[in-house]
Structure 1
Amino acid sequence: MKRVRLMVAILAVSSVIGCTNMSAQQQGTVSGAAIGGVAGAGIASIAGGSAWTGLAIGAAAGGVAGNIKGSQR
């Protein structure tokens, strides 16, 4: 559980840094990847799997979804 909290903290800090000069599509990609990564790590750890694998899969899926959503703005 400590690993998940560390990953959440790292993602939260990294998602806030440097978003001011980004386009809407770039912001959507970063936000989607951060949210997806946190969700994936949480779901994987609850299900008894690897939190790192859940983080990677969730971040990839969230980044793609955020990119699509950001390009529609």
Structure 2
Amino acid sequence: MYKIIFPLLAALSLTACSSTERGAGIGAASGAVIGGVATGNVRGAAVGAAIGGVSGALIGNVAGQPGRCYYRDRYGNRYVDRC
């Protein structure tokens, strides 16, 4: 029962958020899961949540701007420009 209720509540709590907040929340949650599974400890989960939250917020910020996309230059630097 709890396996159904908690994801449902998490999904409902994200419906009122902006795309930046939604991206940060989803990124932090998935980063925490991946970091925890990869390292097997809480520190890895915390680092994964931090990295996932920041990258999710960046991606969510661009998602809220129609006509904007992420690009990478030949040095690997990311930048936002028109699609």
Q: TM-score, normalised by structure 2?
A: 0.56
Residue correspondences, number = 57
Structure 1: which 4+ aligned runs deviate by more than 3 Å?
none
* Higher RCO (CA-CA < 8 Å; seq separation 6+): 1
**Match in the other structure for 2:49:** 55
Identify the structure with the greater helix proportion: 1
CA displacement 1:10-35 (0-9 Å, x = unmatched): xx49x838x3xx7xxxx010000000
Structure 1 unaligned segments of length 5 or more: list them: 1-7
Question: CA RMSD, aligned part only?
Answer: 2.6
Identify the structure with the greater strand proportion: 2
Question: In structure 2, what residue type is equivalent to 1:38?
Answer: A
Q: Work out the percentage of aligned pairs sharing the same amino acid.
A: 34
**Match in the other structure for 2:13:** 16
CA displacement 1:16-65 (0-9 Å, x = unmatched): 38x3xx7xxxx010000000000100000110161111000000000000
* Equivalent position SS for 2:26: helix
* Larger Rg belongs to: 2
**Match in the other structure for 2:36:** 45
Structure 2 unaligned segments of length 5 or more: list them: 1-5, 68-83
Q: TM-score, normalised by structure 1?
A: 0.63
